[in-house]
Structure 1
Amino acid sequence: KTKEALDLVKKISKQIPKSFYSNPYLLTSLLDALMKCGDVAHAESLFYSSKQKVLPMYGAMMKGYVDNNLLEKAIDLFNKIENPNDVNVTILFNACAQLKTKEALDLVKKISKQIPKSFYSNPYLLTSLLDVLMKCGDVAHAESLFYSSKQKVLPMYGAMMKGYVDNNLPEKTIDLFNEIENPNDVNMIILFNACAQLKTKEALDLVKKISKQIPKSFYSNPYLLTSLLDALMKC
C-alpha cells in the first residue's frame, strides 16, 4: 500500500498485453491493488471501461470504496449488481455498518429478506449482518437472527457481544460470554470492555477469575492486555 507499490502497479499495467485484460482475475487483482493504494479514480476508470464485469470485480470495487471511506459509492455499486453473491452482500453490510443511519438499516433489512437462504450458512455474512444490525441499534433483530442460527461461530458471538457493549448492555455481553465453550482473545477483550463499563465489584471479580483461566498465549495480545488493564483500573 505504498506510493512505490502503486507506481509499480501502474507501470506494469501499461506494459502487459491488452489480451491480459480479458482475464477477470487479473483485472480484479489490479482493481484491488489500485484501491488499496488509494487510487480510486484509476480503479473506477478501469472498472467502468471493462466490458466483461464479473462479481469479484464488483467486490474489489465495493471493498475499495469501504476501505477508502466512500460508503455511499459502495452502496450505489451494489445496487447495479443483478445477482450479487454472498461476498458482495457481506461488503454491503460492512458499508452500512459504518454509516449507522436509519437508511442504512432499512437497506440492510430489505436486502437480508431478499438474499437466498443458502447465504445464511455463510458465517462471515451472518457476522457482518449481526454487526450492522447492532451498529444501527436494532438489537432485537440481531438477537432473533443470532439465536435462530444453528451454526454459531466465535466471530458471531463477538459481533453480538460488541453490539451489546456499544448499545450499553454490558450484562448481556457477560451472559453471552458465559455461553461460549472456548472463547478466543477477541471475545475476552469484549468481555473486559463490558466489565469496564459496569465498574462493579462483581465485574472486577469476573475479570480476575477469567484472567486466571485464559491461555498464557493470550497475554501476548497487546489489545487484550490493554483491555484487561482498563477493566482493572475502572473497577
Structure 2
Amino acid sequence: YGDVDSATRLFSSTANKSNYIYTAMFKGLISNNMAEKAFDLLDEMEIKPDSFTLAILFKACAELANDRALKIGRKLLDEMPENYRNDNITSTSAINMLMKFGDIQSAERIFRSNKKKDIITYNAIIKGYVGNEMFERALDLFEQIHLNFDSVTYTVVFNACAGLTNDRAMKIGKELLEEMPENYRNNVVVLNSAMHMLMKLGDIQSAEQILRAHVK
C-alpha cells in the first residue's frame, strides 16, 4: 500500500490541478482499494476529466459496482465527448464497466460507435458477454474479428467455449487451440483456460497432453 496520506497532502497543496494530477491521485486511491474516496474527489473536481481520467474512473466504477458507482459511471458516460468514443483505452474501460453493470445494450452501443477498434476492444466485449453468460454472442463476435489475436483473446474465447459446451463450441475451441501460435503455449492463463475448456468438453486426454507438455 502506498502512502495515501502524503499523496493527499501533496495533492491538496498543488494549485491549478491538471487532469494529469487528478488522474495520478485517482489511480493511487483506486490501487489502494479506496474507490469511494476517488468518487469523493471527483465530486470536488473543477475541470472536465480527459480521456485518461475517464478510463481510470470507469475502472473504479466497474470494481465498486454499487449504486453510487452505477450512477457516477452513467453520468460520466453521458457527458463524455463524442471523440473519446474512438479512444480505445477509454471505450474499452467504458465497455468493461457497462458489462460489469449488466448493461449489455449500452456496452454494444459504445463498441459499435468506435471506428478504430483494436483487439483489446474486441476482447473487452467478448469477456463481457462471457461474464454475462452470453456465450453464443461471444462466439458470434469472435468470428467477425479480422485482427491478430493476443493472449486475452485466446483466454476469453476458450472460456466462452467452456461455457457453451455444444458442437459449435467444440469446433471453434479445438480449431483455435490447434492454430494457436507457439509463444502462447507457455502462457499459464491461456493454458489453464484451454484445459478448462477441454475438460468441460469431455476431452480429458487433450487436457492432460497440454498439462504434460507444460510440465516438461
Tell me how far apart the structure 1 counterparts of residues 113 and 19 of structure 2 sit (CA, whole Å).
29
> In the alignment, which of 83, 91, 94 is matched to residue 129 of structure 1?
94
Residue 79 of structure 1: how far off its partner (Å): 2.5
* 1:224 has 2:190 as partner: yes
Tell me what 1:74 maps to. 38
1:159 equivalent to 2:124? Answer yes
Corresponding residue for residue 159 of structure 2 = 193
Superposed displacement of residue 198, structure 1: 1.6
What's the counterpart of residue 49 of structure 1? Answer: 13
What displacement does 1:59 show?
0.7
Find the partner of 1:141 among 87, 106, 116: 106
After the TM superposition, which parts of structure 1 deviate over 4 Å for at least 4 consecutive aligned residues? none
Aligned partners of 1:78 and 1:88 also within 8 Å: no
Structure 1: which amino acid aligns with 2:10?
L
Instruction: Name 1:179's counterpart in structure 2.
Output: 144
RMSD (Å) for aligned C-alpha atoms: 1.5
Distance 1:103 1:54 in 2: 25
Q: For 1:212, give the aligned amino acid.
A: E
Unaligned 5+ residue runs, structure 1? 1-36
Report the CA distance between 1:104 and its aligned residue: 1.9
Whole-Å separation in 2 of the counterparts to 1:160 and 1:180: 12
- Alpha-carbon distance in 2 for matches of 1:160, 1:112: 17
Aligned partner (choices 142, 165, 169) of residue 134 of structure 2: 169
1:68, distance to aligned residue in structure 2 (A): 0.8
TM superposition score normalised by structure 1: 0.80
Which residue does the alignment assign to 2:79?
Answer: 114
How many percent identity over aligned positions? 37
In structure 2, the residue matched to 1:202 is 168
Provide the rounded CA distance (Å) in 2 between the counterparts of 1:213 and 1:139. 30
User: Where does the alignment leave 5 or more consecutive residues of structure 2 unmatched?
Assistant: 202-216
CA spacing shift, 1:195–1:115, aligned 2, 3 Å: same
Alignment length, in residue pairs?
199
Of the two, which has the highest radius of gyration?
1
For the residues of structure 2 that align with 1:155 and 1:102, how far apart are their CA atoms?
A: 27
- The alpha-carbon deviation at position 72 of structure 1 amounts to 0.9
Q: Output the CA distance in 1 between the equivalents of 2:82 and 2:91.
A: 11
In the alignment, what sits opposite 1:101? Answer: 66
